[in-house]
């Protein structure tokens, strides 16, 4: 039994150049003359979400993720096609946006709650629980304009969570609030999942998607590119976002540099295989030096797609007195156990000599890691174990 079904849904926006008409000061009857520019946010999108399933939707900015969310939450209607929604649906999108600043927290609970479709008697029954979950009991009779932004969001989330929906839409909502509240929200979402609610999560946080979703849908330029298991779809998406390939030939036309990195590759023990989590990885960094160089350090920096530094391979610790002769060469790094999760990582490389950068190439290559040993959490940890009696 489906909870949500989209059949051939398309959505067109017309972009009117309104600023120009205003600055000229003359009336421009755009609806009579030339047609406004059209933009298809979604084109012939069809998918189903089963009861109790949790679906993640990923894609670049402008791929149509938010449009799907707006259509499902009935903020706007499709240009063509049909959407069926079975049961009560609650969208946790920019929670707290329905608040009136002059009204007190309690009054806003009633206003916001009834906007979400609750009746006054339902709200009256839940008001204490809402206040408790939001953690704002001492401010509940103060006007909302005196609230901090965090309190605003917490109260909004709490009201929306109490709607007790059959279907829950989440859009980057977990990114707000402090750590304690985020943990509370994640806890609630996973409990809602376990109790059989349908969840749709739209996020750029691929880790959260992988943890919380049974199935992932990849949108690209308003169309469904792929649906499948989180691992497959996220891998495909990252590959799409970064461009594939395992060996990188780097730019070598700069004559001024006294040394430069010419090539980089990441492999498993067999030289033509992609590295896997939990198994050995070899990184080979090709370089070319023009002079004798003293005190050389080679670095490979590995970044998450989000830009956060994930790990570093360096010669600085192992041999501070590395010297190289003019000519070409190769540095091989060996990781006996690759601890990072499957996925796609961006790579920086650099050569230093006496603490000075000779060559630094940012985001110049991609490290792809295939699933190997199972990873739950952020890292694989190699373990041996025994039973002690």
Partner 1 sequence: MEPPRPTSSDGSVDRELRDHCNATEDPAHESTTPLAARKHPLLGSRLLYSRSLKVIRPASFSLGTIISGVTTLVGYRDLLYTMTLFRISVRYKQSVLGWLWAALQPLAMMLIYTLVFSRVARAANDGVPYWLFVFSGLLPWTFFSGAVSNAINGLIAHSDLLTKLYFPREIIPLSYVFTALVDFAIACGILSGLMVYYHLSFSWNVLYAFPVVAILVAFTSAVALILSSVQVRFRDVGAALPVVLQIGVFATPVIYPLNWVPSRYQRLYLMNPVASIIENFRRIVLRGSSPDVSMLITSAAITLCCLVLAYAYFKATEVTMSDTI
**Binding region for partner 1 (CB under 8 A):** 13, 70-71, 73-88, 91, 93-94, 97-98, 100, 102-103, 107, 110-111, 114-120, 122, 125-126, 129, 132-133, 161-162, 164, 166, 187-188, 191-192, 195, 207, 304, 308-311, 339, 378-379
We find the least distance from the C-beta atom of residue 224 to partner 1, in angstroms, to be: 18
Nearest Cα neighbor of 366 from 224, 227, 265, 228 is: 265
CA 383 to chain centre: 30
We find the least distance from the C-beta atom of residue 17 to partner 1, in angstroms, to be: 14
Residue 67 φ then ψ, to 5°? -65, -40
We find the least distance from the C-beta atom of residue 263 to partner 1, in angstroms, to be: 28
Looking at beta carbons only, is 48 or 252 nearer to partner 1?
48
We find the least distance from the C-beta atom of residue 139 to partner 1, in angstroms, to be: 18
Give 92's DSSP letter: E
Can you name the residues that pair with 218 across neighbouring β-strands? 58, 226
Q: Contact 340/307 with Cβ under 8 angstroms?
A: no
Looking at beta carbons only, is 21 or 250 nearer to partner 1?
21
Looking at beta carbons only, is 150 or 207 nearer to partner 1?
207
Helix H, strand E, coil C: the string for 236-281 is HHHHHHHCCCCEEECCCCCCCCCEEEEEEEEECCCCCCCCECCCCE
Looking at beta carbons only, is 50 or 225 nearer to partner 1?
50
Alpha-carbon separation of residue 11 from 3, 55, 92, 223, 257 (angstroms): 21, 21, 22, 11, 53
Looking at beta carbons only, is 65 or 162 nearer to partner 1?
162
We find the least distance from the C-beta atom of residue 43 to partner 1, in angstroms, to be: 15
We find the least distance from the C-beta atom of residue 327 to partner 1, in angstroms, to be: 36
We find the least distance from the C-beta atom of residue 140 to partner 1, in angstroms, to be: 16
CA 386 to chain centre: 38
Looking at beta carbons only, is 119 or 354 nearer to partner 1?
119
Nearest Cα neighbor of 202 from 166, 161, 170 is: 170
Residue 153 φ then ψ, to 5°? -65, -40
We find the least distance from the C-beta atom of residue 226 to partner 1, in angstroms, to be: 25
Looking at beta carbons only, is 250 or 337 nearer to partner 1?
337
Looking at beta carbons only, is 58 or 331 nearer to partner 1?
58
We find the least distance from the C-beta atom of residue 170 to partner 1, in angstroms, to be: 14
Task: For the sheet with 309-314, list strands across it.
Answer: 309-314, 296-303, 343-353, 356-369
Looking at beta carbons only, is 308 or 332 nearer to partner 1?
308
Alpha-carbon separation of residue 188 from 41, 125, 182, 331 (angstroms): 32, 20, 10, 49
* Cα distance between the two ends of the chain: 51
Can you name the residues that pair with 351 across neighbouring β-strands? 298, 359
Can you name the residues that pair with 293 across neighbouring β-strands? 324
Phi-psi region of 73 (alpha: psi -120 to 50; beta: other; left: phi over 0): alpha
């Amino acid at each position: 039994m489906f909870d949500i079904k989209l059949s051939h849904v398309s959505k067109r926006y017309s972009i009117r150049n309104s600023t120009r008409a205003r600055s000229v000061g003359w009336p421009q009857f755009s609806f009579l003359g030339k047609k406004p520019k059209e933009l298809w946010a979604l084109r012939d999108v069809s998918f189903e979400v089963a009861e109790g399933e949790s679906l993640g939707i990923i894609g670049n900015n402008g791929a149509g993720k938010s449009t799907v969310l707006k259509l499902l939450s009935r903020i706007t209607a499709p240009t063509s096609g049909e959407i069926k929604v079975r049961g009560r649906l609650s969208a946790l999108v920019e929670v707290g946006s329905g608040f009136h600043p002059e009204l007190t927290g309690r009054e806003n609970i009633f206003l916001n709650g009834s906007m979400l479709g609750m009746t006054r008697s339902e709200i009256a029954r839940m008001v204490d629980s809402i206040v408790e979950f939001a953690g704002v009991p001492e401010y509940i009779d103060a006007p909302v304009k005196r609230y901090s932004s965090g309190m605003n969001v917490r109260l909004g989330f709490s009201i929306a969570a109490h709607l007790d929906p059959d279907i829950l839409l989440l859009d980057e909502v977990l990114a707000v609030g402090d750590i304690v509240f985020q943990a509370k929200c994640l806890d609630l979402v996973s409990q809602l999942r376990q109790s059989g609610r349908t969840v749709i999560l739209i996020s750029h946080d691929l880790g959260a998607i992988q943890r919380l979703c049974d199935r992932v849908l990849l949108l690209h330029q308003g169309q469904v590119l792929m649906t499948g298991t989180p691992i497959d779809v996220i891998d495909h998406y990252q590959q799409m976002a970064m461009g594939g390939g395992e060996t990188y030939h780097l730019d070598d036309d700069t004559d001024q540099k006294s040394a430069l990195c010419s090539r980089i590759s990441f492999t498993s023990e067999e030289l033509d295989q992609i590295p896997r989590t939990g198994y050995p990885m070899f990184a080979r960094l090709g370089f070319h030096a023009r002079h004798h160089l003293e005190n050389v350090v080679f670095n490979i920096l590995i970044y998450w797609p989000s830009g956060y530094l994930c790990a570093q391979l360096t010669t600085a610790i192992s041999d501070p007195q590395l010297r190289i002769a003019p000519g070409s060469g190769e540095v091989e790094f060996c990781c006996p156990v690759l601890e990072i999760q499957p996925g796609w990582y961006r790579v920086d490389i650099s050569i230093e000599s006496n603490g000075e950068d000779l060559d630094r190439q940012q985001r110049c290559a991609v490290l792809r890691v295939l699933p190997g040993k199972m990873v739950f959490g952020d890292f694989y940890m190699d373990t041996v174990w025994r039973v002690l009696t």
